[in-house]
């Protein structure tokens, strides 16, 4: 497993997105996924307090009992957890952090991320609270999610021990808005980029094909379907599958390796519900794409 820098942390190039824990995956299933991840060298687990309304953190904390030192835990705050429990006010940052620490059964969170910008709270106030958490030893690095480049720049106002070490935004072969400003900002300031939805809600797994019915209980049939699983995108998928198979690789491997080709990206985090999915993901970023490969992909997606 390749490892990359995220601030002071060393994270596996392939990470585990824990949004399924407490929702699609029960406590026993979470243990199976975590066991498989650690076995293949994955150390990066990304969750949020809002996933499963706390259960994702609880299940992850339980699964890591006795081996916390083998994992880099990232979690997020700011989405609504209950009445008055959302946003990035300093007093709520402290409240949410202590609650996450308790659920995760740990004294320190490796990467603590604001889940989305809070227009009602000055970013300077939030950054001060996060830096206070670093000084208190409760957090090692801080990050943001769903921030624009302008919002990232606005956060550079606190002369504390930490600025944002990472930004986590939607990015994959079919969703490339981050290339306009956020990725260049990451390159300029040495901020790590964590892409969420690296497989475009399953569209880049290869199980959705043009002219074939969507599998039952799949993302293609839920709320994402009409917006993402369009005829145009399914045509692009067929062309990408052709590229992958011509190199004896799968579309899944192409999706991971395309992201890994960008030096700004420190970890490709994808959800997994089974140990087999973990093992498939762990090998998926090992294809080193050439400049010609990347140019051909750009031509197809243009």
Q: Which residues are catalytic?
A: 51
d(CA 68, CA 140): 14
| CB 277, CB 6: distance < 8 Å | no
The number of angstroms, rounded, from the C-alpha of 67 to the middle of its chain's C-alpha atoms is 22
If residue 45 lies in a helix (H) or strand (E), which one and from where to where? strand 44-46
d(CA 42, CA 37): 5
203 burial (CB, 10 Å; 0-12 / 13-18 / 19+) is: buried
d(CA 5, CA 3): 7
- What angle do the packed helices 123-135 and 90-104 form, to 10 degrees? 40
The sign one gets for the Cα dihedral 191, 197, 200, 204 is positive
If residue 218 lies in a helix (H) or strand (E), which one and from where to where? none
The three-state secondary structure class of 43 is: coil
Of 282, 301, 272, nearest in space to 47 by CA: 272
């Amino acid at each position: 497993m390749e490892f990359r820098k995220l601030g002071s942390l060393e994270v596996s190039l392939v990470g585990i997105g824990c949004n399924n824990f407490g929702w699609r995956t029960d406590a026993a299933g979470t243990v199976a996924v975590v066991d498989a991840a650690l076995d293949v060298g994955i150390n990066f687990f990304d969750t949020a307090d809002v996933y499963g309304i706390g259960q994702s953190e609880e299940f992850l904390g339980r699964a890591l009992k006795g081996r916390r030192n083998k994992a880099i835990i990232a979690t997020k705050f700011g989405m609504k957890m209950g009445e008055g429990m959302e946003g990035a006010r300093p007093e709520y940052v402290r409240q949410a952090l202590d609650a996450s620490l308790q659920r995760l059964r740990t004294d320190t969170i490796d990467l603590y991320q604001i889940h989305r910008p809070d227009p009602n709270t000055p970013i300077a106030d939030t950054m001060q609270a996060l830096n206070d958490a670093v000084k208190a030893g409760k957090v090692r690095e801080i990050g943001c999610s769903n921030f624009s480049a302008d919002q990232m720049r606005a956060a550079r106002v606190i002369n504390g021990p930490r600025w944002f070490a990472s930004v986590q935004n939607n990015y994959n072969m079919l969703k490339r808005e981050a290339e306009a400003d956020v990725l260049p900002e990451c390159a300029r300031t040495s901020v790590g980029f964590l892409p969420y939805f690296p497989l475009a809600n399953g569209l880049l797994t290869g199980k959705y094909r043009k002219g074939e019915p969507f599998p039952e209980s799949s993302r293609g049939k839920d709320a994402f379907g009409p917006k993402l699983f369009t005829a145009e995108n399914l045509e692009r998928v067929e062309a990408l599958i052709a590229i992958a198979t011509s190199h004896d690789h799968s579309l899944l491997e192409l999706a991971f390796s395309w992201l890994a080709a960008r030096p700004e990206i420190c970890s490709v985090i994808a959800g997994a519900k089974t140990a087999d999915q973990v093992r498939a993901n762990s090998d998926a970023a090992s294809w080193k794409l050439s400049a010609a490969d990347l140019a051909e992909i750009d031509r197809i997606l243009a």
